[in-house]
Structure 1
Amino acid sequence: MIETAFLALGLVLIVEGLAYALAPSLVEQMLEILRALPDTMRRNVGLLAMLLGVVLVWVAKTLGA
């Protein structure tokens, strides 16, 4: 179980690092867009991202990861 958590955290850090390394100006633009959204919309986006993450982890576990 802990191995899966470390794997997931590592993959998140790789993707986040790639975004900042390859397109830092795009990250700034995304932050400006997020800043312009109301709090409830940002919360909904966060909940949707979390739900998508749970589904992806469930699918990976179902497939044998």
Structure 2
Amino acid sequence: MARELLSALCLVAVFEGLFLFLTPEGWKRTAERLYVLTSLQLRLFGGAVVIGGLLSLWAVRG
């Protein structure tokens, strides 16, 4: 279980780094858009991402 979790976190780091490497300007524009959101909007967005990730994980793992 711990090995799978560590592997998943490493894969997240690979994808995050890949986006920064391939499209740094796009990443900056996205960060600027996030900066103007309220804390509530960011919390709702973060919650939606967590729920979407959990549902996706549940669907993939069965």
With the length of structure 2 as denominator, give the TM-score of the two structures. Answer: 0.89
Structure 1 segments of 4+ aligned residues over 3 angstroms from their partners = none
Q: What do you get for the CA RMSD once the two structures are aligned?
A: 1.0
Q: How does 1:34-53 map to 2 (within 5 A)?
A: 34-53=34-53
Cα separation, 2, equivalents of 1:56 and 1:4: 16
Q: Which structure 1 segments of 5+ residues have no match? A: none
Q: Shift of the alpha carbon at 1:60?
A: 2.0
Q: Distance in 1 between matches of 2:54 and 2:3?
A: 17
Q: 2:5 corresponds to which letter in structure 1?
A: A
The 3-state SS of whatever aligns with 1:54 is helix
Output the TM-score relative to the length of structure 1.
0.85
Deviation at 1:13, TM superposition (A): 0.8
Amino acid at match of 1:3: R
Q: Runs of 5+ in structure 2 lacking a partner? A: none
Q: How many pairs are equivalent?
A: 62
